[in-house]
Amino acid sequence: MWKKSARTHQSPACSEDRQHEHSRKKVIKCKAAVLWEPHKPFTIEDIEVAPPKAHEVRIKMVATGVCRSDDHAVSGTLITPLPAVLGHEGAGIVESIGEGVTCVKPACGKCRICKHPESNFCCQNDLVKPRGTLRDGTSRFSCKGKPIHNFIGTSTFSQYTVVEDIAVVKIDEASPLDKVCLIGCGFSTGFGSAIKVAKVTPGSTCVVFGLGGVGLSVIIGCKVAGASRIIAVDINKDKFAKAKELGATECINPKDYSKPIHQVLQEMTDGGADFSFEVIGRLDTMTSALLSCHESCGVSVIVGVPPNAESLSVHPMLLLLGRTWKGAIFGDQLLGFKSKDSIPKLVADFMAKKFPLDPLITHVLPFEKINEAFDLLRAGKSIRTVLTF
Ligand code: PAD
Ligand code: ZN
């Protein structure tokens, strides 16, 4: 999610030429979308972006997706310090580098989690207890003389941003940044949740709750993994056509049934699916998804980000017979793949046409129309809007 795909020309991140020496000392004045308070629209402001310090990279943003997690930060579902520059699904070009950046290097590689073969939620993340800063406790953004916070180490809703070298990956120069930016969060989260987290098996039955950009990417993953039935669930039937186009074999709307949706799904799947995914971010649908997978062999994965400070209570019997319940932040990037290898590889796979991204992009807008992009998301009219700079 906070992986920022940075395309570099002639690897400037590794070069030592004079122009970089010079430009990395300058403050850049540019435009950014600032969120001053929760529940308010963004305002496009003139901001200053300080030069990158040691082990930081300043990036000229080319494109960024709008993800529901950004909206969670606006609504307070995800608590993050404000005012801030949000956005985390971006791609851009390295503008300058700070001291000690030898090459763009993703993940610290040193903490317990980076060393763990099956995990990648680097301990240096700024998501679990967000400070809204880079690692030295400050941000490189300021506006009207006030410091402006970062968002989960990325802040892509700005013409220029500064990120740490551990939060950047170098990708194929030829890749279209206005598409592969989705690999920075939504696509990888969904696809990886199916392939790497649930480990969907050929011939299996999958149920996907929520058909936004992330849920549809779960469907793409289930299909690539060879699932034979993919049941898509959403309360917005306008999402069904795209779900079918991407591999859903059936689409159901809980509003069309009087009984609980997990019962409907259990009946449709001979007692429960092999795999189920919650890709909405609601506690009730997390329980429904759990109950929709088979009580002894089912695997259920939570992908949606739940409301801040709310808890679920479930009877242990639901797990005692053998169900597996998992959660996955950023799907593949953080559980199973190492981002260092996985992001450039996913970009290469996209270039080799192993999976599509175009169907996920329903709107492309100039960055200045960011509030329109959020309105489309909230109204259920878009899958992903890509903002271009
Ligand atoms: P989205 O808002 O585009 O899609 C959510 C979908 O859920 C919409 O199609 C809704 O109609 C549907 N929906 C809403 N309520 C219900 C309901 N009660 N029953 C069935 N369907 C419903 O969001 P998105 O695809 O960008 O993100 C989905 C979630 O995943 C969201 O909570 C986001 O914050 C989270 C996320 N998690 C990670 C991660 O790493 N775990 C990464 C990116 C996004
Ligand atoms: Zn996201």
- Strand 299-302 versus strand 324-327 pairing type: parallel
More confident residue, 264 or 119: 264
Cα of 281 from ligand 1 centre, angstroms: 6
Q: Where are the domains of the chain?
A: 4-185+333-388, 189-327
pLDDT at 226 over 60: yes
Find residue 161's DSSP bridge partners: 59
pLDDT at 85 over 90: yes
Residue 198 has what pLDDT?
95
Q: Which of 185, 265, 279 to mutate to test the pocket of ligand 1 (most atoms within 8 A of CB)?
A: 279
Residue 78 burial class via C-beta count within 10 angstroms: exposed 0-12, middle 13-18, buried 19 and up? buried
Q: Which residue type does 41 have?
A: P
| DSSP conformation class of 198 | I
pLDDT at 372 over 70: yes
Contact predicate 59/4, CB 8 Å: yes
91's enclosing H/E stretch is strand 89-97
Q: Does the CB atom of residue 191 touch ligand 1 within 6 A? A: no
Residue 229 has what pLDDT?
98
Residue 337: which pLDDT band, with cuts at 50, 70 and 90? low
pLDDT at 266 over 80: yes
Q: Which of 1, 64, 66, 68 to mutate to test the pocket of ligand 1 (most atoms within 8 A of CB)?
A: 68
Find residue 215's DSSP bridge partners: none
Cα of 346 from ligand 1 centre, angstroms: 22
Residue 115 has what pLDDT?
77
Query: Over the chain, what is the mean pLDDT?
Result: 89
Q: Which of 75, 214, 375 to mutate to test the pocket of ligand 1 (most atoms within 8 A of CB)?
A: 214
Catalytic residue check, 185:
yes
Tell me which of 127-131, 211-215, 367-371 is least confident. Answer: 127-131
User: Cα torsion at 164, 27, 66, 103 (round to 10°)?
Assistant: -30
Residue 336 has what pLDDT?
45
Percentage of the chain beyond pLDDT 90 is 76
Q: What is the pLDDT of residues 4-48, one digit of tens each?
A: 455 433 333 334 444 445 555 799 999 999 999 999 999 999 999
Tell me which of 114-128, 192-206, 308-322 is least confident. Answer: 114-128
Mean pLDDT of 228-252: 98
- Strand 89-97 versus strand 168-171 pairing type: unpaired
Catalytic residue check, 22:
no
Please determine, looking at this structure, whether the domain spanning 4-185+333-388 carries the CATH number 3.90.180.10.
yes
Nearest in space to 348 (alpha carbons), one of 183, 154, 166, 119: 183
Residue 17 has what pLDDT?
44
Angle between helices 261-268 and 283-292 (to 10 degrees): 20
**Residue 322, SS3?**
coil
State both tokens at 13.
């991140």
Nearest in space to 31 (alpha carbons), one of 151, 155, 161, 159: 159
Distances (CA, A) of 262 to 199, 254, 295, 377, 379: 22, 9, 12, 26, 26
90's enclosing H/E stretch is strand 89-97
Residue 64 has what pLDDT?
98
Q: Does the CB atom of residue 389 touch ligand 1 within 6 A? A: no
Q: What is the pLDDT of residues 359-371, one digit of tens each?
A: 999 999 999 999 9
State both tokens at 285.
């649908």
How many alpha carbons lie under 13 Å from residue 61 in its C-beta half-sphere?
32
Tell me which of 195-204, 218-227, 267-276, 322-331 is least confident. Answer: 322-331
Which residue out of 88, 149, 262, 294 is catalytically annotated? 88
Cα of 21 from ligand 1 centre, angstroms: 43
Q: What is the pLDDT of residues 269-278, one digit of tens each?
A: 999 999 999 9
Catalytic residue check, 69:
yes
What are the residue ranges of helices labelled H in 183-238?
186-192, 213-224
Tell me the pTM.
Answer: 0.91
Nearest in space to 215 (alpha carbons), one of 247, 263, 184: 247
Contact predicate 95/160, CB 8 Å: yes
CATH number of 189-327: 3.40.50.720
Catalytic residue check, 149:
no
Distance, in Å, from the CA atom of 158 to the CA atom of 161, rounded to the nearest integer, reads: 6
Residue 126 has what pLDDT?
75
Return the ligand 1 atom nearest residue 327 CA. 41
Find residue 92's DSSP bridge partners: 6, 61
Nearest in space to 340 (alpha carbons), one of 105, 101, 12: 105
Residues 6+ positions from 298 with CB-CB distance below 8 Å: 272, 273, 274, 275, 276, 292, 323, 324
Task: Give me Rg for the CA atoms of the chain.
Answer: 21
Distance, in Å, from the CA atom of 298 to the CA atom of 321, rounded to the nearest integer, reads: 10
Residue matched to tokens 């400050």: 138
